[in-house]
Amino acid sequence: MKKAAYTFATCLLIAFSSCKKEETPTTNNPEVTGNNYVKTVTFNDTLLINAYAYDASWRIISSEGDDSFTVDYATGTVTYASETGQLNSNGYLVSKSDGTNYTYDNNGYLISESDDVSTTQYFWSAEGNLTQEITTYASGVGVDTTALTYVYDLSKLNPIRGTEKMLEGKSSKNIITSISYTSSFGSSSTSTFSYIYDSKGRIAVMNQTEGTSQFKFSLTYFD
């Protein structure tokens, strides 16, 4: 069900906010003056990760790339390449035909995701930020528990909207500065993040550094 727990795609998409536009960046953020719904995400200037489309109400209706799907809100159905998903009345995924199930709290935050291979619990702060994911995998050599721990710049709201994370409840309110990964089998790593803003105050580039490796993710918007 899941991709590798500690890929940049996971980190990037969790950083995106699915909240509506009523939030305004603080004075420590550049002023957002343009459409801040993501159109495309590109890796290292060459590889298109995903391209997104939205309806007139800025609900996501399709994604093309690593996570390709179309959404039919009339039937509450998401169609992927090899499976389908069902949405609740808030437009959030509650199940997929591959056996994945999602649960949310009363505020619309994702609190668990499970299938026949793994179970993930999500923990949120009072500020509305995802602070930790704990995933338990059953395997032939024992049970591996992994954790992702997130650190934020609480002085800066995340201005980005959209992406497939809109289908998985509310997302984190602030800008991520680092994510640490640990496994009960002993492995660990940490990534740090920095941002370049465009002239309209939107995140144009998100840079990830993990050890000696550096990665660049570029974003475009609809104006």
What are the tens digits of pLDDT across the range 118-152? 999 999 999 999 999 999 997 666 788 999 999 99
Residue 23 CB neighbour total at 10 angstroms: 15
Domain assignment present for residue 1? The answer is no
pLDDT value of position 29: 52
- Count structural domains, the chain: 1
Q: What is the chain's percent helix, strand, coil content, to nearest 5?
A: 5, 55, 40
| Integer Cα distance of 200 and 29 in angstroms | 11
Give the residue-averaged pLDDT of 22-34. 50
Could you give the percent of the chain with pLDDT greater than 90? 70
Domain assignment present for residue 138? The answer is yes
Quote the mean pLDDT of the chain: 86
Using DSSP's 3-state secondary structure scheme, residue 170 falls into strand
Domain assignment present for residue 36? The answer is yes
Give the residue numbers spanning the domain of 183: 8-221
pLDDT-derived band at 6 (thresholds 50, 70, 90) equals: very low
Using DSSP's 3-state secondary structure scheme, residue 7 falls into coil
Is residue 10 within 8 A of residue 217, CB to CB? The reply is no
List, for residues 53-88, the tens digit of each pLDDT value.
999 999 999 999 988 999 999 999 999 999 999 999
pLDDT-derived band at 30 (thresholds 50, 70, 90) equals: low
Domain assignment present for residue 203? The answer is yes
| Integer Cα distance of 48 and 185 in angstroms | 33
Structure tokens at 8: 């940049």
Amino acid at 21: K
User: At 115, which CATH number?
Assistant: 2.40.160.150
Q: Closest Cα to residue 5, out of 138, 184, 110, 148?
A: 148
Domain assignment present for residue 188? The answer is yes
pLDDT-derived band at 5 (thresholds 50, 70, 90) equals: very low
Domain assignment present for residue 22? The answer is yes
Is residue 89 within 8 A of residue 191, CB to CB? The reply is no
Domain assignment present for residue 2? The answer is no
Phi, psi dihedrals of residue 29, rounded to the nearest 5°: -100, 150
Domain assignment present for residue 39? The answer is yes
Q: Is the pLDDT of residue 9 over 50?
A: no
DSSP H or E stretch at residue 178: strand 174-183
Structure tokens at 102: 């999602």
pTM of the model: 0.85
